[in-house]
Amino acid sequence: MKIYLVRHGLTDWNIERRFQGIEDIPLNDTGRKQARDCGQALTSLSFAAIYASPLQRAYETATIITDKLNGYHKEHGRNDSVLTVKADSRLIERDFGKVSGLLPKDRKVFLESGEDANMEEFEHLTERLMAAMKEYQEENQGKNVLVITHGGVINAILHVLSKGEIGTGKTLVANTSIAILDDDGGNLKIETYNMKISDL
């Protein structure tokens, strides 16, 4: 099986380079188009399940992608494979605490102040994410799954699986880019990351 990790579409906060944590920021029109394009690109693949963060920027991305996949299936007579989005709170973005929502210049000032930002502990973040990945492996053995989530989430997973070579602090995950994790005998390995939908 393979787990396809997709970052949500663009938001206004992404454009402003604000940290988006647990705030429920919506997609903008560009983000919705990105989601539609991503869904179209994914029609060449089959998925047993689709999981998404319940935050609206990820959940709406997932809904748009799922609608595209179901439309394609219907058009090609595959009505037995209707997909639904399963919200999973473990896929929510990291809580960035006091730096969440700050513009880059304000974030720099805060971090230089030495004040505790009160972020979600990285260990807690990775524990909840890897528990979710393990569950998806167990529930969908031999079948591909699609996960729509956040940049910080994908980076944390990449960090764990690469033992810190890539991911958190090193990798900028693009909106609606794709990372593919391959289940190799129960162990997840990174096949690719930051893949453009045009490369599918």
Q: Is 11 annotated as a binding residue?
A: yes
* Amino acid, res. 80: D
Q: What are the backbone dihedrals phi and psi of residue 179, each rounded to the nearest 5 degrees, phi first?
A: -110, 140
Say whether 124 counts as a known binding-site residue: no
Judge whether 69 is annotated as a binding position.
Answer: no
Q: How far apart are CA 58 and CA 16, in angstroms?
A: 18
Query: Residue 149, annotated ligand binder?
Result: no
Which listed residue (60, 73, 76, 93) is catalytic?
93
Question: 9 labelled as ligand-binding?
Answer: yes
42 marked as binding residue: no
Residue 128 assigned ligand-binding role: no
* 111 assigned binding-site residue: no
Long-range contacts of 155-161 (CB under 8 A, 24+ apart): 156/94, 156/122, 156/125, 156/126, 156/129, 157/5, 157/126, 157/129, 157/130, 157/133, 157/181, 158/190, 158/193, 159/126, 160/126, 160/129, 160/130, 161/188, 161/189, 161/190
Q: Please indicate whether residue 8 is annotated as part of the active site.
A: yes
Q: b/e per residue, 9-25, with b = 16+ CB within 10 A?
A: bbbebbeeebbbbebeb
| 78 is annotated as contributing to ligand binding | no
Match 């930051």 to its residue by tokens: 194
Q: Annotated binding site: which residue ranges?
A: 7-14, 57
Binding site, annotated residues for substrate: 7-14, 57
Active-site residue numbers? 8, 93
